[in-house]
Amino acid sequence: MTMRSRGGEKNSRAPARIRRRAKILLQTAVVLVWVLVMAQVANRAYLQPQALRITPAIAREGLKAGEEWWGVYWKGEKIGFGVTDQEMQGDRIQVKEQLWLKLAVLGVPQNIQQTLEYTSKDSLAVESFRFTLQSGLFPFHLTGRMETDGRGSPGGRMVLRLQSGGKEQEWEVRLPEAPFILGQTKLYFLSQGLEKGKRYRVPVFDPASLSPAEMVAEVEGLERVFIGREERELFRVRQEFRGMEVKSWIDRNGRTWKEESPMGFTLLRENREDARRSNWSPGKMADLLALTAVPSDREIPDPRSTRFLRVRLHGVGFQGLKIEGDRQSLRGDEVTVRREDLSIPPPPGEGLSEDERRESLRATPLIQKDDPEIQSRARDIVGDSRDPLEKVRRINAWVYRNVRKQPVVSIPSALEVLRQRAGDCNEHAALFTALARAAGIPARLQAGILYQEGKFYYHAWAQVHLGSWVSVDPTLNQVPADAVHVRLVEGDLDRQLDLVKVIGRLKVEVKEFR
């Protein structure tokens, strides 16, 4: 399916209503795919401080050299496979994890390949890693290495390098302790002894948000589980991190046979041949949009013109989400959204603090507002305008007209989008935010659900501060965005991972709209 934006490009011959529906569905669907893929990446690969005190003896005894193959399933449908290859080389552990996913969005195949390679000491402290994500237009490359401070302390600096838009960025993160890869924590469970009721609370470092957090694990019980045609006695271990809950089934030797998440992902240990070739549905590919769209109990006839919406959200907890504030209010489990009226001056006292202003104008590794190309483009777009609202409208219209509407399953980088001129709502929102910040307009990213054709779909857009926060959707060319945008999370791209808490569980009841 070929989608073209306005502004001199040819339009499809399909009726306008069908074109609009297909365009919106494509753009909203890819947010869901991106969130699910990133959740899978984060769950398998985040870094954990060495507070677990794995000894070299435990590492050598528990390490299973060679390949481990996995089948990856989504709600019963096979969507991919993976392999972990690890070996000891002297006092170093070399690990290579690869994941292949084959998905559909509105019937359009999406092929995704992820690779994580890392080297660690036999105490499992990571020395260096390389992560790549390849899917379509935007290859993503991130490397990291640990550097000690030379004073004999257990911590040091994690030096990160990101390749994006043909350029390389480098930054560093201070860590109190040397980290290691989460995939090896099964050795910790093994060393502590697996028995029902044991709980572990572990401080962790999340490379997506570059911030500390906590992982909680509990051995829930011992049960008999069929893996393929064979029944095994396995410990069920629940692990939770940033709202992502994963259950693992581990044998007494520390080998994981099955992993399952509430989002519908299941990993099953399989042999090489079965992982690559077995259990695929002939002629069928799992379509994530169809499986995860949130049905609406009422039709909203003209959603793009909606000024007011009141909905009940249930089936999920709100902790960690950003539902209340700005144009949204929350009472119990009912959310009210009022589209901003730009003709009414904002109430006094809604200015930004220095910290808020600094945060919403800063450059980040993926919102590269200080890059010369971003700066130059922002100046060209806003021209001689001095009015902040007019600047926002010009940037929004430019992004809408010049970024081709195309599904892209990758980690969106504003600089890469500027060069490729293609992407879905994530790419539109990332580029708009970078250009707005470059023009001196405080801006931040939003993500949540958007109503279209009887269902709510996951979507991303932006906010700008014009005396008060105003929602902007550069994918739909809206300033302000209509009221059927319901924000669930806020902040830079890593915050979209918090959508994992609601995907597959959220239910919506439409109470009122106008």
Task: Compute the distance between CA of residue 102 and CA of residue 293 in angstroms, rounded to an integer.
Answer: 19
| Alpha helices by DSSP H, 242-318 | 272-277, 288-292
Distance CA 236, CA 195 (A): 10
β-strand 167-175 against 179-181: which pairing, if any? unpaired
CATH number of 351's domain: 3.10.620.30
Q: 234: number of CA atoms within 13 Å, CB side?
A: 21
Q: How large is the average pLDDT for residues 326-332?
A: 96
pLDDT 10s digits, 421-454:
988 888 999 999 999 999 999 999 999 999 988 9
User: CA-CA distance, 485 to 497, in Å (whole number)?
Assistant: 18
Kindly state whether residues 158 and 301 are assigned to the same domain.
no
Query: Which one of 253, 277, 301 terminates a domain?
Result: 277
Q: Is residue 407 part of a domain?
A: yes
The residue-averaged pLDDT of 41-68 equals 52
Q: CA-based Rg of the chain, rounded to a whole angstrom?
A: 24
Q: Output the CA–CA distances (angstroms, integers) from residue 335 to 45, 243, 330, in the order listed.
A: 35, 21, 5
State whether 309 and 393 are in the same domain.
yes
Q: What is the DSSP string of 162-198?
A: EEETTEEEEEEEEESS-EEEGGGTHHHHHHH---TT-
Does residue 373 sit in the same domain as residue 273? no
18 in a structural domain? no
In this structure, the answer to whether residues 212 and 139 fall within a common structural domain is yes
Q: What is the pTM of this model?
A: 0.82
Provide the token pair at 149: 């401070």
Q: What are phi and psi of 424, to 5 degrees?
A: -100, -160
Find where tokens 């893996």 sit. 227
Q: Is residue 392 part of a domain?
A: yes
**Residue 349: band (very low, low, confident or very high) from pLDDT cuts 50, 70, 90:** low
Residues 6+ apart with CB under 8 A from 22: 1, 3, 14, 106
Query: Which of these three, 222, 246, 277, is where a domain ends?
Result: 277
Q: Are 255 and 351 found together in one domain? A: no
Window from 52-61, 324-333, 500-509 with minimum mean pLDDT = 52-61
Judge whether 231 lies within some domain.
yes
- The DSSP 8-state label assigned to residue 281 in this structure reads P
- DSSP helix/strand/coil, 390: helix
Q: What is the pLDDT of residues 377-400, one digit of tens each?
A: 999 999 999 999 999 999 999 999
> What is the crossing angle of helices 388-402 and 372-382, to 10°?
110
Tally the domains of the chain: 2
Q: Give yes or no: residues 227 and 336 share one domain.
A: no
DSSP 64-117: --EEEEEEEEETTEEEEEEEEEEEEETTEEEEEEEEEEEEEETTEEEEEEEEEE
* Interval 275-299: pLDDT, tens: 999 988 776 676 666 677 899 999 9
By mean pLDDT, which of 145-149, 159-163, 425-429 is the weakest? 145-149
Within a domain: residue 13? no
Same domain as 171, residue 105: yes
Structure tokens at 170: 């480098």
* Amino acid present at 474: P
Q: Which of 249, 277, 305 is the last residue of a domain?
A: 277
**Domain span including residue 147:** 45-277
Decide if 476 is inside a domain.
Answer: yes
Q: How far is CA 184 from CA 49, 302, 339, in A?
A: 12, 52, 48
Q: Are residues 213 and 325 in the same domain?
A: no
Same domain? 259 vs 332: no
Tell me, yes or no, whether 237 and 345 share the same domain. no
Do 503 and 36 touch, CB atoms closer than 8 A? yes
Rounded to the nearest 10 degrees, the angle between the axes of helix 388-402 and helix 425-438 is 140
In a domain, 286, yes or no: no
- Do 235 and 315 lie in a common domain? no
Query: Is 288 within the bounds of a domain?
Result: no
370 and 420 within one domain: yes
pLDDT of residue 7: 36
What is the average per-residue pLDDT within 195-208? 71
Within 13 Å of residue 278, how many CA atoms lie on the same side as its CB? Answer: 12
